[in-house]
Chain A
């Protein structure tokens, strides 16, 4: 069975540019979450989507946005990139009812974004 897949695995962008990251959850999982992991820190929650609706949002600026498609895949968009946006972006899918994180979450390998 395929796990959570993310694309691309690495990319380099220039300050001010826009980036789109993609995630496909495990088959049957309706909940997708996005996390930002800065080097040397734990992951920080950005968004959760369940059944195509936003169910939770972390403390990130409006430059960050996301959406979930009918097939439950998801995109994370970041506008006007800053140097500080350089990080590993992780996508997680879960089977929990109504997106509950009291069941285990399965993470993808992440997208390493470097902003120069």
Chain B
């Protein structure tokens, strides 16, 4: 079945540093891929998505490219801010399309 493996944290960065959070997937076909973010004490928010190979999803300075050849969807941001401190989840649908499968999450802490 479909699965996702996500880089484990925590990741600790200084403000304005470059961020990469790795995500690789195993899937039948070419499902949509998602990054969700969870701020402390809150639910999940969709950060960005990509629906087909070579698509680049982007939002709030974050980017991720759907790479079919490496089965990856790494999250990047050129200059992180303290307000980016949160837990980030990579996700994709299960084979039946009835549920999202999430990675274990990567905690990002950004200090000023």
- Give the interface of A toward B (CB within 8 A): 4, 33, 35, 40-45, 48, 55-56, 58, 88, 90, 92, 96, 98-110
Contact = CB atoms under 8 A, between A and B. Distances in A.
Contact of A56 (B31, B42, B99): B99
Interface of B: 31-32, 34, 36, 42-46, 49, 51, 89, 91, 93-94, 96-105
A42 to B, nearest CB: 3
B102 A43 contact: yes
Contacts of B34: 104
Given A104-B46, A104-B49, A42 B89 contact: yes
A100 B98 CA distance: 6
B8 to A, nearest CB: 11
A55 B99 CA distance: 9
A10 B109 CA distance: 26
15 contacts: A40-B105, A41-B104, A42-B89, A42-B104, A43-B102, A45-B101, A48-B98, A55-B98, A56-B96, A56-B99, A101-B99, A105-B46, A107-B43, A107-B45, A110-B42
Contacts of A42: 89, 91, 102-105
Interface centre among B93, B94, B96, B99 (most CB of A within 10 A): B99
B101 to A, nearest CB: 7
A43 B32 CA distance: 18
A101 B89 contact: no
Nearest to B6: A42
Among B46, B49, B100, B101, residue most surrounded by chain A Cβ atoms (within 10 Å): B100
